[in-house]
Amino acid sequence: MRRFVIIGHRADTTGNFKLDDVCGGAGRLDVLIRCVNSAFFLSHSIRRDVEVFLILQGGEDAPKTIRFCGDELRYLNPDERSTASLIRNALLKKVAEKEIRASPGIYVSRKSFEEILVDLAKGGELLYLKENGKDIRDVRLEGDLIFVLGDDRDLSKEEERILSVHASETLSLGPASYHSDHCITLVNNELDRRGL
Ligand SMILES: C[S@@+](CC[C@H](N)C(=O)[O-])C[C@H]1O[C@@H](n2cnc3c(N)ncnc32)[C@H](O)[C@@H]1O
């Protein structure tokens, strides 16, 4: 299983945004939607062995986490507008303490970054993606892998501190600073090549 955790530092948690304003009013939700696309879409199918966690930290209802579960997903299309609509629909649901299902394969909870990491650390190896990490090509990877990355902003010092408690390694994907969705494509490609 491959998992990706992306922190949306300003991403809206209220659902109170227009579908044609995901870059502005929704707090750069466009970055997160592209991450969802890169995580799941192959040319003619969806990767079923992938799970994505969008940690939304903007707006009055923060934090919230939207979880996309590849083997249950339906109605996910490559266009950003329809994914924004699925996310908005999830955010408009009434969420109390427990995670709830908003639509097939899409879940919403009030979990924070730290709570998600604590959960995930029980079932896999957490890896921090960062420009100055160890080259991924020099690292042996196996089992259930969980990759953590920022949106258009890097992780804050506090987020790095929380992650350092759980992550086993910091990995670099190459010599440039890449967009988050491109990082996910690179990881998927690397794991595909290794047959993982
Ligand atoms: C668009 S970047 C964030 C801002 C960027 N670090 C900058 O200086 O402009 C998004 C995230 O992708 C990941 N990332 C970008 N380039 C990477 C690389 N070469 N290796 C590993 N992770 C990378 C990091 O987690 C980063 O926070």
The confidence band for 103, taking pLDDT boundaries of 50, 70 and 90, is: very high
Percent of residues, the chain, with pLDDT higher than 70: 100
Cα of 81 to ligand 1 centre, how many Å? Answer: 24
Check residue 67 and give its pLDDT: 98
| 117-121 mean pLDDT | 98
pLDDT in tens, 26-66: 999 999 999 999 999 999 999 999 999 999 999 999 999 99
**Residue ranges covered by each domain of the chain:** 1-196
Cα of 6 to ligand 1 centre, how many Å? Answer: 11
Check residue 13 and give its pLDDT: 98
CATH pick for 1-196 out of 3.40.50.1820, 3.40.1280.10, 3.40.50.360, 3.40.50.2300: 3.40.1280.10
What number of H helices and E strands is found in the chain? 5, 8
| 109-130 mean pLDDT | 98
**Which letter does DSSP use for residue 22 in this model?**
T
Check residue 69 and give its pLDDT: 98
Give the β-pairing of 64-69 and 2-8: unpaired
